[in-house]
Structure 1
Amino acid sequence: MDVFSDLIRGVRAHGSLFGSSALSPPWALHFVDGAPLTLCTVLTGAGWIVPEDRPPEPLRARETVVVRGPATFTFVDEVGTRAEPVACGEHCATPEQGGTRHRLGWNDRGGDGDGRGPTTLIVGAYPVHGEISRRLLDALPVVLRADADGTGDAVLDHLAAEVAVDTPGQQVVLDRLLDWMLVCTLREWFDRPGGEPPAWWAAQRDPVVGEALRLLHAEPAAPWTVAALAECTGVSRSTLAKRFADLVGEPPLTYLTRWRMALAADLLVEREAATVAAIARTVGYSDPFGFSAAFKRVRGANPSEFRRTAAPASARPVRRPADGGRPAEVPDPRPG
């Protein structure tokens, strides 16, 4: 398990959080849910992404942007458009709400409007929960973009083909394609020339530190020592310690402790019936008191306090999509 795979594993497109719109100008779609991550891809045409308190970003055919919440944003045909914003969130826009066709997993080719032709927008909103995925969110800007002709270009061909038809299983296919697109977009952004990716991203490619990171993520509960990691990676203890700290920004065991505490924080919320001692054993602590002390040092509260104040995912309200489909969990408005 590499670091990126671990951090993104809880980020998944989910049924009713998908929309496809074929838009004829003028238009203005206001995405009001403030989802932790929203992926927007234009298949045909062009428009502008207008985040709150940020400069507008052009979005042309076969380009993708990812917007990080909780702030909302608008997709418009042009900056200063005369169109009245249509709220897109709990219920998708309908033709009666200004003429924009926007429905879950459904494509409308739209009209010719002013001769520029329709713009086809694909949107996937991601409800990102838990402390594990927070590390990924913390590494992202409010808006990041992937230009056309990148590694996600093949995904766009599949998306274009899928939204043009209405077949059984379409929603599942679209969800997975959006997940694929998100991974491609993030990888391209982290690898962009002159970029500043998080330390763990670059460190994964180091033959020594990358292997150490994979070991820590594959077996976080193992009784790791610097000496044991050094033996597994084929270098001396001092070499590993220095190289890891230089590339990751902290010593190996400090990294491991923070990773264990992130895992424990999510387990405390997800496994309401599990005791603190059981959670401690799961993340590599035989002594619950030692675990509690480490958790409070890293998280600022002991495990029991954290569990009481953290809102469990099961307690979040659900909403029913406008088309009468199955309910979906409301995205957490807090990042992460």
Structure 2
Amino acid sequence: MDPLDLMLRQLRAHGTVAGLSALSAPWTLRVAGEAAITLIAPAHEQIWIQHSDSAGPVPVEPRQVALVRGPEPFFCTDQPRPDGHDGRTGRVTPVHEIGPGQGQPWPLPELSESTPSALLGVGFYRPSGAPSTRLLAALPPVAVVTESPHLPPMRSYLETEFAKGMARPGIQTELDRLLDWLLVRLLRDWFDQPGTQPPGWYLALSDGIAGAALRFIHTQPDRSWTLASLAAAANTSRTTLVTRLRDLLGESPLAYLTQWRMELAADLLSDPGSTVAAVARQVGYADEFSFSTAFKRVRGVSPSALRTG
């Protein structure tokens, strides 16, 4: 399992919104926060996304998909509208809200029965683990991905399913899982897109030496790794391994190992049935004391305090 695999296991679609309601200009949607990533896919017309962390409104064309980083709310509009006014009429545009809500999606409003200017597919992804924060940190506030050739068939299928409505047994789970697959493809396309600067851990996966070391760290965090044993497992020298990971990740192999172990430990400690001693063993520490010391140094709080807080 590589870093992207684990991070994606902890991001799951939740409450896909059937997005074939008619949105006739002028329209504004406020997308509520809470989601780690929100997927926005316009079908016919260009839309604009206004996020507080972006320099300005971001255009999204048909056959593009926007991945919007949360949890801050943002606006989706038919034209740039930073002040809420319609530039063509001067009137304030009514704002309609959607979002994951309290476990149930809010439906896209039927703003018009006429030919729509925009049809939106929307999916919400909630985080369920600390390692997913690495993935979120690697994304800009709004990542716009141009669809690669393998995506249009899936988009067409999703649009067909949306059009059939949500009042069918199992349809919510089906659409959520399809969007899980779509997120994996879109993230890979984004990181491989020209002009994008992927994070070091993503680049390291395609490196023969660094990638091998990361996979050992991620699949065997409970092993008593030393620099020598990790270098031997990756079939390289200690000097080469240190140089390669510093170049790609900006940190040493053992520093990365410690950070990863503490992220996994934070997730394991969230389980009410876990104990500090058991978690210590699962992330490669022989005793509770040394684990607690390392955890507090990295996370700024003791394992016991994290559990009770």
- In structure 1, stretches of 5+ residues that fail to align are 102-109, 310-336
Give 1:93 shift: 5.0
Match of residue 111, structure 1, among 94, 114, 138: 114
Residue pair 2:191, 2:197 contacting (<8 A) in 1 also: yes
For residues 244-277 of structure 1, give each alpha carbon's deviation from its aligned partner in whole angstroms, at most 9, with x where no partner exists: 22222111111111101000011111x2232211
Give the match for residue 17 of structure 2.
Answer: 18
2: CA distance, partners of 1:18 / 1:221: 40
Q: What code does the residue aligned with 2:3 have? A: V
Residue pair 1:145, 1:185 contacting (<8 A) in 2 also: no
Give the match for residue 135 of structure 1.
Answer: 134
For residues 12 and 290 of structure 1, do their structure 2 counterparts lie closer, same or farther at Cα, with a shift above 3 Å needed?
A: same
Give 1:70 shift: 2.4
1: CA distance, partners of 2:53 / 2:213: 40
Give 1:222 shift: 1.1
Do residues 292 (structure 1) and 292 (structure 2) align? yes
What secondary structure sits across from 1:273 in the alignment? Answer: coil
Give the match for residue 257 of structure 1.
Answer: 258
What secondary structure sits across from 2:119 in the alignment? Answer: strand
Give the match for residue 111 of structure 2.
Answer: 100
Residue pair 2:49, 2:59 contacting (<8 A) in 1 also: yes
What secondary structure sits across from 1:29 in the alignment? Answer: strand
2: CA distance, partners of 1:61 / 1:194: 20
What secondary structure sits across from 1:20 in the alignment? Answer: coil
2: CA distance, partners of 1:126 / 1:304: 29
For residues 44 and 94 of structure 1, do their structure 2 counterparts lie closer, same or farther at Cα, with a shift above 3 Å needed?
A: closer
What secondary structure sits across from 2:30 in the alignment? Answer: strand
**Aligned ranges for residues 1-336 of structure 1 at < 5 Å?**
1-14=1-14, 16-22=15-21, 23-52=23-52, 54=54, 55-80=56-81, 81=86, 82=91, 83-89=93-99, 90=101, 92=106, 99-100=110-111, 110-112=113-115, 117-149=116-148, 151-166=150-165, 167-269=168-270, 271-309=271-309
Residue pair 1:261, 1:298 contacting (<8 A) in 2 also: yes
Give 1:161 shift: 2.6
Given the two structures, how large is their TM-score scaled by the length of structure 1? 0.81
- In structure 2, stretches of 5+ residues that fail to align are none
Given the two structures, how large is their TM-score scaled by the length of structure 2? 0.87
1: CA distance, partners of 2:199 / 2:237: 26
2: CA distance, partners of 1:210 / 1:253: 15
- Identity percentage over the alignment? 43
For residues 79 and 60 of structure 1, do their structure 2 counterparts lie closer, same or farther at Cα, with a shift above 3 Å needed?
A: same
Residue pair 1:17, 1:126 contacting (<8 A) in 2 also: no
